[in-house]
Amino acid sequence: MRFIRTKAAIAVAGLALTMTACGDAGSDSEGADVEVADDAASSFDDGTRMKELADAGTIKVGVKYDQPGLGFKDAASDIPTGFDVEMAKILVASLGIDPEDTSKVEYVETISDNREPFLEDGTVDIVLASYSITDDRRKVVGQAGPYLVTGQQLLVPEDSDVASTADLAGKEVCSVTGSTSLENVKAEGMKPVGFDTYSECVEKVLDGTVEAMSTDGTILAGYAAQNEGQLKVVGDEFSEENIGVGYSKDRPEMCQWIVDTITKAYDDGDYEAAFEATLGPSGVEVPELPTMDECA
Amino acid sequence: MNAVLDSPDLFLKAFGYTVFLFLVSGVISVVLGTLLVAMRVGPVAILSRAATVYITVVRNTPLVIIFLFFQLGAPKVFQTLRFSWVDIHIGPYDFTSFFTAAVVALSLYTSCFVCEALRAGINAVPLGQAEAARAIGLPFSGVMRQVVLPQAFRAAVPPLASTLIALLKNTSVAGVFGVIEAAAQMKSFTNDFASERTGIFIMFALGYVVLVEIVSAVATVLERRWRIA
């Protein structure tokens, strides 16, 4: 009797293993291939954070999990996908760490609220999470870039007549609680309605409770692509967001490394490939690399 | 801290929404809770059973799930549950579908706890009181209204105050469901002024402490006034 039970347990364990294997097979990331730098550790000066990370061979990256096209993780995959994630992979690879190896690279979910605390207390080493550069944020964390400039637009149902923010004056427009987008909605004379995630706002637009939602055009394009035929992006950009890379203020040497690596990726065409693979399908043209701020 | 002091209007308006959510849901849940408790202790088996089932289901559901149901689930099935027919504007305050859905979710949830607080009060009224009321020929409604509930409310003041304080703090859930109340406004502040995070937290925490203190002060006054001699 006991023998049969043991056999059954082994069979179940075996089954579980094969199932996990199946799960892995489906999780190939769709992004562009990034080449891992050889002997990266020797190319950095002693005492720098890059040297420490390259020597340790591990890094923790803060990304968004809920923004299709920028940083999005579905339940089936191990690594999030999106342009921010591709940029993170380029940075990680330049340290000689394989960005596809989740035992070495930890993609931590950061929401708008916890990006600064996570950088300050070392929960993450770098943040690429549609992180707008602002003067106030630069008081507490380092921000390198911008590597992408986006502006805020409107996402409305396909059959909507709304063409600009003026059509929505005094009306309720959805965005994420505590985000810059929500403040801009107010500044444009619309009434802000805050939800926890962008996907909840999309639901409220789809069920007709609000006429529109608003945030960065790149994020909206991702949702429009996900709900083709139901939603569309309209209006001119009515704000300018400079998306940058966050790092700890205690490690100012990281700034130059980030700027150099991204500039090199742009020259090599990796930037374009990353953009094509992630935001390309939603119909956004590959932009020129913005002029990045000087590192202090 | 300066960020909050620089724009006190935003701070006060946000707490205004918190207070409105609290007052409206508070009144509705006390009324609903009283009805529920009458059903529960009443002699009609089916009503008593129905109230028990309702309380078991709603009280055991996390508040966020109830919010999600009324914000994202129900509107897809029933048009009226979008609450888009609610459109009231008083001064700077807008009471639209989001406020209404929040009030509905908070009231349905809190009424269970109000019912149980009142039931504790009813259980504290000696059985002899109800029997005496019956003996002088009062119907069930009379027994409840004139003899049992007045005494029950007195005994229930302390647990009822706890329930209402919990409601006051639970209003913060509405902040991620479309109402710019205190918790949502705090997130706006910390987003815009990342360097003043701690000060902003303290200001908003103080706001809640003051509101809760007011509720418990009222409860203390009532408790003292209604004390059974």
Q: B97, exposed or middle or buried, with CB in 10 Å at 0-12, 13-18, 19+?
A: buried
pLDDT for B165: 95
**Chain B within 8 Å of A208 (Cβ-Cβ)?**
yes
Domains in chain A (CATH in brackets) are: 40-150+241-282 (3.40.190.10), 152-234 (3.40.190.10)
How far is residue B113's CA from residue B109's CA, in Å, rounded to a whole number? 7
Q: A288, exposed or middle or buried, with CB in 10 Å at 0-12, 13-18, 19+?
A: exposed
> What backbone phi and psi angles, to 5 degrees, belong to B227?
-55, 130
What share of chain A in percent tops pLDDT 70?
85
Task: Flag whether the ipTM exceeds 0.95.
Answer: no
pLDDT for A27: 39
Selection from A143, A148, A146 nearest residue A255 by Cα? A143
How far is residue A84's CA from residue A131's CA, in Å, rounded to a whole number? 9
A162 C-beta neighbours (distance < 10 Å), count: 19
Structure tokens at A6: 């043991």
CATH 3.40.50.2000 matches B21-180: no
* Interchain contact, B176 vs A208, CB within 8 Å: no
How far is residue A66's CA from residue B145's CA, in Å, rounded to a whole number? 53
**Residue to test with chain B: of A118, A140, A195, most B Cβ within 10 A:** A195
Selection from B113, B86, B227, B225 nearest residue B168 by Cα? B113
Structure tokens at A95: 């340290």
Q: In this predicted model, what pLDDT tens digit does every residue of B66-75 receive, in sequence order?
A: 999 998 888 8
Q: In this predicted model, what pLDDT tens digit does every residue of B6-57 receive, in sequence order?
A: 888 889 999 999 999 999 999 999 999 999 998 998 889 999 999 999 999 9
- Per domain, the residue ranges of chain B are 21-180
Taking 90 as the threshold, does the pLDDT of residue A23 lie above it?
A: no
Q: In this predicted model, what pLDDT tens digit does every residue of A145-164 receive, in sequence order?
A: 788 888 889 999 988 888 88
**Residue B193: its chain A contacts at CB < 8 A?**
136
Peptide bond into A99 cis (omega under 30): no
For residue B105, name the pLDDT band (cuts at 50, 70, 90): very high
pLDDT for A33: 63
**Which residue of chain A has the CA closest to B81?**
A209
pLDDT for A248: 87
The strand pair at A191-195 and A172-176 is best described as parallel
Distance of CA B211 to the CA centre of its chain: 14
Structure tokens at A244: 């940058």
Contact by Cβ (8 Å): A66, A198: yes
Question: Residue A277: CB partners within 8 Å, gap ≥ 6?
Answer: A30, A31, A32, A86
Full DSSP string of B50-113: HHHHHHHHHHTS-HHHHHHIIIIIHHHH-GGGG-TT--EEETTEEE-HHHHHHHHHHHHHHHHH
For residue A5, name the pLDDT band (cuts at 50, 70, 90): low
The Cα of B30 is separated from the nearest Cα of chain A by a number of Å equal to: 28
Q: In this predicted model, what pLDDT tens digit does every residue of A243-291 receive, in sequence order?
A: 889 888 888 888 888 888 888 888 888 888 888 888 777 667 778 888 8
A135 C-beta neighbours (distance < 10 Å), count: 8
* Interchain contact, B184 vs A141, CB within 8 Å: no
User: CA gyration radius for chain B?
Assistant: 20
**Residue to test with chain B: of A193, A205, A206, most B Cβ within 10 A:** A193
pLDDT for A282: 67
For residue B169, name the pLDDT band (cuts at 50, 70, 90): very high
Taking 90 as the threshold, does the pLDDT of residue B88 lie above it?
A: no
Least confident of B132-136, B158-162, B186-190: B186-190
Q: A108, exposed or middle or buried, with CB in 10 Å at 0-12, 13-18, 19+?
A: middle
Helix (H) or strand (E) holding A130: strand A126-132
**Chain A within 8 Å of B199 (Cβ-Cβ)?**
no
Tokens 């504290």 -> residue: B124
Q: In this predicted model, what pLDDT tens digit does every residue of A113-129 receive, in sequence order?
A: 788 888 888 889 889 98
**Average pLDDT over chain B, rounded to whole?**
89
